Amino acid sequence: MQKIDVCFSPELLPKYEITDKIVVVVDILRATSCMVTALACGVAQIIPVMEVEECKEWQRKGFLASAERDGKKIEGFDLDNSPFSYQNPDLIGKTIALTTTNGTLAIKKSKDAAQIIIGAFLNISAIVAYLKKENKDILVLCAGWKGKVNLEDTMFAGALVEALQADFDVATDDSLMAQILYNHAKTDMLAVIAKCSHIKRLQNLGIEKDIEFCFQIDKYNVVPMMNGDFLEIVA
Ligand code: 3SL
C-alpha cells in the first residue's frame, strides 16, 4: 500500500525523501487558494518564484507579475495575493509570475519531487481523485508561516489524510496529528481558525472576505501541477 505523510513546514522538508513522491503543496491563506482560483478562472500558467527580484525580472520580460510580502502587495507589481483579484476576465490566457511569503517558497523547495501539485479546500475533491488515480507515495507540504507551523494548512493536510485513509497507509505521527486536528475542526473550520495568527494578520489588513472564500469546499474542479518553471492545470 502507498503511504501518505505530512510535513508541517518547509523547514522540515530536508527530513523527508521526496524524489519518488507526489508533493501536495498547501497554503490555504492564501497562496495556493489564489493559484487554484487563477487557473480555474482561465489564467493559462503561473510562474512561482522565491524572490521578489526574480519576479521583477519576469515582469521586465513582459509578463504580468504578482508579489506579496506579509500579506501586502509590493509596490510596482500588477497583482496582489487575493483570490478575488484573479477572477478577472482580462487575465484569461495570461501567464503570471508570482512570489509570496511562504507558498511559492514551499513550491520551489519541493523541486526534487516526482510531481508537485497544488491543493486548497477549493479543489480538494479533485486532488483526492487525482491522488487515488496516480497511486504513488504522497507528502503533503504545509507552507506554514516563515518556517513555523500553522493551523489552516495542517487542517487541510488532515482533510486529505482523512479522505485517503482507506487507500493509503497513514504512515506517521505527522499524518495522524493532522487528521486528528481536521476531525476536531471539520464541522466548523472557520470557528476553529478564528484565533489563528494569519487570520489576525489578514483582519488587520482589512481583507476578511478572502478568509471565507478560501474555506469553500470544491468550488473548483482542477488539479494544478508544476511543469518545469510553470504551474498549469493537468486534470
Ligand atoms: O504566505 C504566503 O504565501 C501568502 O499566502 C500570505 S498572504 O495570505 O498573502 O498574507
Candidate from 68, 70, 213 with most ligand 1 atoms within 8 A of CB, to mutate:
68
**CA–CA distances in Å: residue 207 to residues 10, 84, 95, 139, 211:** 26, 11, 25, 30, 8
pLDDT of residue 206: 85
Q: CATH topology for 3-228?
A: putative 2-phosphosulfolactate phosphatase (3.90.1560)
Nearest ligand 1 atom, CA 80:
9
Nearest ligand 1 atom, CA 29:
8
| Claim: this prediction has a pTM higher than 0.95 | yes
pLDDT of residue 67: 97
CA dihedral 200, 120, 212, 35 (to 10 degrees): 90
> 165-175, pLDDT tens digit by residue?
999 999 799 99
pLDDT of residue 48: 98
pLDDT at residue 235 greater than cutoff 80: no
Q: Which of the pair, 200 or 15, is modelled with greater confidence?
A: 15
For the chain, what are the domain ranges? 3-228
160 Cα to the center of ligand 1, angstroms: 21
Atom 6, ligand 1: residue with shortest CA distance: 71
Question: Within 6 Å (CB) of ligand 1, which residues are found?
Answer: 27, 29-31, 68, 71, 81, 100-103, 143
30 Cα to the center of ligand 1, angstroms: 5
C-alpha cell at 232: 498549469
pLDDT of residue 143: 98
- Say how far apart CA 220 and CA 120 lie, in whole Å: 10
